[in-house]
Amino acid sequence: MTPTHIRNSAKAVILHEGSVLLTRNIWDGREGHFLPGGGQEPGELLPDTVRREVREETGLTVNVGPLLWVLEAWIRDREPVAKNYHRVEIVFLCTVDGSPELVGGTEQDTGQIGLEWVPLDKATALETLAPRYRNNLAALGAGGIPTATYLDW
C-alpha cells in the first residue's frame, strides 16, 4: 500500500467588475481553468498562503476575505513515483489590492499557460473549470456571499 500524504492548499476566488480570475493550465494533456492558489508551507497561515500563491502565479496582491469553500479529496499521483494524496483545498473570497492588470507572476505553476478574467456568467458554464467550482460561482454572480460550504470531490 502506498503511503498517503496530506496536502493543504489555499485557493482564491478573486472578483473584479463581475469577473473571476482564473489560471489557464495544461493538465493531463488538456487545457483547463483553475482558481489561483497552491500548497501551504509548514508554519504558514492559510490567508498568507493564498496571498503568496496568488502573487507568485498572477503578480497581483489580494485582500483575503471570508472563507467560501472547503474541498476534500483523495488523489493518486502517477508520476514520477505513485503517491496517494489526501488533499484539502480551502477557498477564500479575495479582492485585488491595487491594479487588476494581469502581468503574470514570478513563480507560475508547472503547466500554467495564462491568466484570464472570466465574466461570472461565463465561468459558471466553462467546461474547462471543475464542476464543483462552476456550480458554486453562480451564487457569487447573484451578488450573494454564501456561508462557508464543504464540497466533496
What are the tens digits of pLDDT across the range 26-67?
A: 877 888 899 999 999 999 999 999 999 999 999 999 999 999
Which secondary structure element, helix H or strand E, spans residue 18, and what is its range? none
Got the DSSP string for 35-103?
A: -SEEEPPTT--HHHHHHHHHHHHHS--EEEEEEEEEEEEEEEE-SSS-EEEEEEEEEEEEEESS-----
Q: What is the pLDDT of residue 80?
A: 57
Q: What is the pLDDT of residue 82?
A: 61
Q: What is the pLDDT of residue 81?
A: 58
Rounded CA-CA distance 64/100 in Å is 15
Q: What is the pLDDT of residue 145?
A: 66
Q: What is the pLDDT along the chain (153 residues), one digit of tens a residue?
A: 466 788 899 999 999 998 999 999 887 788 889 999 999 999 999 999 999 999 999 999 999 999 999 988 877 666 655 667 788 999 999 999 988 887 776 776 777 888 999 999 899 889 888 888 888 887 776 666 667 777 766
For 147, left (φ over 0), alpha (ψ -120 to 50), or beta? beta
| Contact indicator for 50, 10 with CB cutoff of 8 Å | yes
Which secondary structure element, helix H or strand E, spans residue 137, and what is its range? helix 131-141
Q: What is the pLDDT of residue 134?
A: 85
Q: What is the pLDDT of residue 61?
A: 94
121 phi/psi in degrees, rounded to 5 = -65, -30
